[in-house]
A and B are shown apart, each in its own frame.
Chain A
Amino acid sequence: EAAVTQSPRNKVAVTGGKVTLSCNQTNNHNNMYWYRQDTGHGLRLIHYSYGAGSTEKGDIPDGYKASRPSQENFSLILELATPSQTSVYFCASGDEAGAGSDYTFGSGTRLLVI
């Protein structure tokens, strides 16, 4: 069954440390997305990718980097984690939204930066 898998499910990081969140999809979708979700802010787009080797900035990219080494994998990197980055992070994959493709989401990663 096609799916989006995120790892880890939970992560505690120290301030100033490096954090890597991983996402793997078996949907063969071209596009992948990283969102964070905070109470009162809904889903906010951090980075996205149109395919292997491409990354684009979303609405709130500061403090985050992304990497898309293959069609299946898309990582979110926090080089210097800060407490303000404590959140729930969702990865999603999809084809062309303008053509009606919906997104499939992973189960999320709960990140606590202390």
Chain B
Amino acid sequence: GDSVTQTEGLVTLTEGLPVMLNCTYQTIYSNPFLFWYVQHLNESPRLLLKSFTDNKRTEHQGFHATLHKSSSSFHLQKSSAQLSDSALYYCALSNYQLIWGSGTKLIIKP
């Protein structure tokens, strides 16, 4: 069945360094949507960005991701981490509903 893999359960970075959170997926669909959600402490998940188009960079709130169908990847990146980026990040894949990865907890230290 369809699945999403986030290999890092926890990523700890120093403020100002670049962020990269990995997401790979498996699906039978040729044109899936891929999503990144962010969940700050004691809040609910909210959409960060989504993409459908192969090899097109999608950006929102300083984060960006590019869907690469050739490698089934949708990694989340940011050039310079901020303390406020500390949160839980979920990658998700669409079929008839969202299939969620296990999440990556990002901790940014001063």
Contacts and interface: CB of A to CB of B under 8 A. Distances in A.
Given A33-B97, A98-B96, A102-B50, A90 B45 contact: yes
A41 B6 CA distance: 12
B25 interface: no
Nearest to B103: A42
A43 B45 contact: yes
B102 interface: yes
A102 B47 contact: yes
Interface stretch (A12-20, A71-79, A103-111): A103-111
Given A97-B98, A100-B50, A43 B90 contact: yes
Nearest to A44: B100
A48 B97 contact: yes
- Residue picked from B33, B94, B95, B97, most chain A C-beta under 10 Å: B97
B52 A100 contact: yes
Range for the number of chain A residues in contact with chain B:
20 to 34
- Residue picked from A33, A98, A106, most chain B C-beta under 10 Å: A98
A42 B44 contact: no
Nearest to B100: A43
B35 interface: yes
Interface of A: 31, 33, 41-43, 45, 48, 90, 94, 96-100, 102-103, 105-108
Given A42-B103, A102-B50, A105-B45, 8 more contacts: A31-B97, A42-B90, A43-B90, A43-B103, A90-B45, A94-B97, A98-B29, A103-B47
